[in-house]
Structure 1
Amino acid sequence: MSEIKSLFATRLYRARLSELGAAIDPDELEASCYSIAEDDEAGQEWCETEGYPGYTSYASLTDLPWRFPIFGDLVKVLDAHVAAFVEELDFDLGDKSVVLEDIWINILPPGGTHSSHIHPHSVISGTTYVSMPDGAASLKLEDPRLPMMMAAPPRKKSARDDLKTFFYAKPEVGDVLLWESWLRHEVGLNMADEDNRVSVSFNYKWE
């Protein structure tokens, strides 16, 4: 009897933040994001110099949990979700742990995009969503085998999710998405009419 296995799985974890910890008030978290962005002159300057649309604290701030207690609460909840995902991935951590490496704010205005990239020095990457107005861009994930598919025909539009070349995850406010950091991803054009797409992203490392 013939048999077909699915090999070399690429996992995407999706859950509500509140499933594994104290509820995080999205309004308070959003207000904190804007407050930090307004005061972060170094981050504003970096975004302008690098042509980054909107605002990110990625290159300027490393102490968000210290600045606002809500980020400290958020990290505790994220730790629980990452631990659950690590368990699912069957990692052999030895005498080490997967711990938070960095966490940062993203404020993407209408018309803004975030180009395709990976996080090569981390193990788990992810994002939790603070504001997703109508028309806000999805998270686009790319099959990591794509560069080796030079002669392959395209997939049907009706292909199963696990066979698609690209997968578009449309998160809601309060969702957390996790993936392995080698997985290439991007945020497409923010088609919201006026409102910003606000999220908090993070990396976890093995140490």
Structure 2
Amino acid sequence: MRQGTEAVTTADHERLARARAGVAARPVSAVAEHNLASVLGDLGDFAGAEAATARALAKGGDAAETWLVRGRALQGLARLDEAEAALATAIARRPDYAVAHRDLAQLRWMRTADMRHALAAIAAAPATTDLIRVHATVLTEAGEGAAAAALLTRAVAARPGDPDLRLMAAAACGRQGDAPAQLAHATAALSLAPGSTGAAKAAVEALLHAGRAGEAAALAERLIAAIPDDQGAIALACTAWRLTGDPRHAAWCEDPALVSAATIPTPPGWPDLPAFLADLAADLAARHRWRTHPLEQSVRHGSQTQEDLARLDVPVLRALFAALDAPIAAHLGALGAGDDPVRRRLSGGYRFAGAWSVRLTPGGFHSDHVHPRGWLSSAFYVDLPDAVAQEPAGWLALGRPGVPTRPALGPLRHIRPRPGQLVLFPSWLWHGTEPFAGDATRLTVAFDLLPAE
């Protein structure tokens, strides 16, 4: 593969070496074992992380953080009952541990699609800002947006000076179509935290919803001047420019070279691409053990894997990421020079920054979104329902904003998915998937790329 494409980086190896050295230097230390477990978990070695947390506990460790790392490792090993128990123990050790509450709520939600079960631990927890966020998130994901907005409205009334609550309330009101309330909460958050990027973005979103695109553009332009690689800020600026007719929208969002679709070569060891895709689909199917989608993701009516596929030492997955190099390299090589947010960051290579799989069931779709931590994003099609033959069922939609605007805006284009095809596009370009009917599922792999360091 090209230099810089490795998923496990030199920095990862150095972190792991330091953690192992720490255990060797302090063989009776529970903290050293915890630190090793945390690194192993980050690298996708769930068996190693589980073993290290067991040693930490045996050495007297009982911290909430260790139980969290253990719960995540057990989840990665598909020992889901044990994972729930470990996360519940983390919460017992620290009742306001919001990260553990979120992990437990998400695990229960994905396993059961039962909102009450997902929220059971939060009901007895302190009403901190972070736990209110988890509560509202679960309500939203369960389709109870009005209840989430009401929860946040009550929280703001009790703590009107909390900018984080204001931001959450702004988003909830926006989803409910209440543009005036959204704008009121967003401007209050920006007044309370004038240096907050999140508050500034929330204000731009509210202005777009209120039909004040010129003001939204001015604020979004200040944002991207300050943080030029913020993918969410770029998306909001482009949305405002589309509404105001600014030519920068065409230059950044309608340039055909920024989007490519290509079929991968057949990886070595397989007779043809269909045989490889069949083996890949079988591996991915075993990872889709969930009943419903995770929290705060774009998936609706489907499931999403929870481990970083690019880090896993599994032959069919390693073959996939090796085969992806050719179309990625061709895409980068065809871009040429430019000052748009993709071309100006070209460094001669790339690295993976997270990879996952999504399986949509009939009626499923991706809501329109961007990838805030990416540079280039993707869709790789593994197995598709027959319904995609009928435009635009199950097709990729590009350019339709994932935030409400006045007037509403539709997609700039659709791309029909095909098995073995990789589609690449800027991470800041709004993208989603159209619903499809029938009785078959739609299986994909997606990943983000960053420029090579």
TM-score band, normalised by the shorter chain?
0.7 to 0.9
Question: Are the structure 2 counterparts of residues 109 and 143 from structure 1 closer, same or farther at C-alpha, using a change threshold of 3 Å?
Answer: closer
Contact 2:361 2:440 in 1 (8 A): yes
Contact 2:300 2:360 in 1 (8 A): no
Residue of structure 2 aligned with 1:105, choices 336, 354, 357: 357
Equivalent residue number for residue 426 of structure 2: 180
Q: Which residues of 2 match residues 139-150 of structure 1 at below 5 A? A: 139-142=396-399
Aligned residue type for 1:111 = G
Equivalent residue number for residue 34 of structure 1: 285
The answer as to 2:329 corresponding to 1:72 is no
Deviations, residues 159-195 of structure 1 (Å, cap 9, x unaligned): xxxxx9521111111111111111100011122x111
Residue of structure 2 aligned with 1:130, choices 349, 365, 382: 382
Cα distance between partner residues in 2 of 1:111 and 1:149: 27
Cα distance between partner residues in 1 of 2:260 and 2:424: 5
Percent of aligned pairs sharing the same letter: 24
- How far did 1:131 drift? 1.0
* Partner SS for 1:105: strand
Contact 2:310 2:352 in 1 (8 A): no
- How far did 1:47 drift? 2.5
How many equivalent residue pairs?
A: 181
Aligned residue type for 2:283 = S
The structure with the greater share of residues assigned to helix is 2
Deviations, residues 21-72 of structure 1 (Å, cap 9, x unaligned): 656511111111101223xxxxx37726668422111xx2024552521111
Question: Are the structure 2 counterparts of residues 147 and 74 from structure 1 closer, same or farther at C-alpha, using a change threshold of 3 Å?
Answer: same
Question: Are the structure 2 counterparts of residues 94 and 197 from structure 1 closer, same or farther at C-alpha, using a change threshold of 3 Å?
Answer: closer
Contact 1:65 1:75 in 2 (8 A): no
Which of 1 and 2 has higher RCO (CA within 8 Å, sep 6+)?
A: 1
Cα distance between partner residues in 2 of 1:183 and 1:174: 22
Q: TM-score, normalised by structure 1?
A: 0.74
Unaligned runs of 5+ in 2: 1-249, 337-342, 389-393
* Partner SS for 1:135: helix
Unaligned runs of 5+ in 1: 1-6, 39-43, 155-163
Equivalent residue number for residue 195 of structure 1: 440
Deviations, residues 83-135 of structure 1 (Å, cap 9, x unaligned): 22112222355767321111111100001111000012211111111111111
Cα distance between partner residues in 2 of 1:111 and 1:169: 18
Cα distance between partner residues in 2 of 1:94 and 1:52: 33
Question: Are the structure 2 counterparts of residues 88 and 110 from structure 1 closer, same or farther at C-alpha, using a change threshold of 3 Å?
Answer: same
CA RMSD of aligned residues (A): 3.2
Aligned residue type for 1:130 = V
Cα distance between partner residues in 1 of 2:348 and 2:262: 25
* Partner SS for 1:47: coil
Residue of structure 1 aligned with 2:331, choices 44, 62, 85: 85
Q: After TM superposition, where is structure 1 displaced by more than 3 Å over at least 4 residues in a row? A: 21-24, 48-52, 91-97, 146-150
* Partner SS for 2:293: helix
Contact 1:190 1:197 in 2 (8 A): no
Moved more, 100-109 or 85-94: 85-94
* Partner SS for 1:177: strand
Equivalent residue number for residue 159 of structure 1: none
Larger radius of gyration: 2
Contact 2:352 2:450 in 1 (8 A): yes
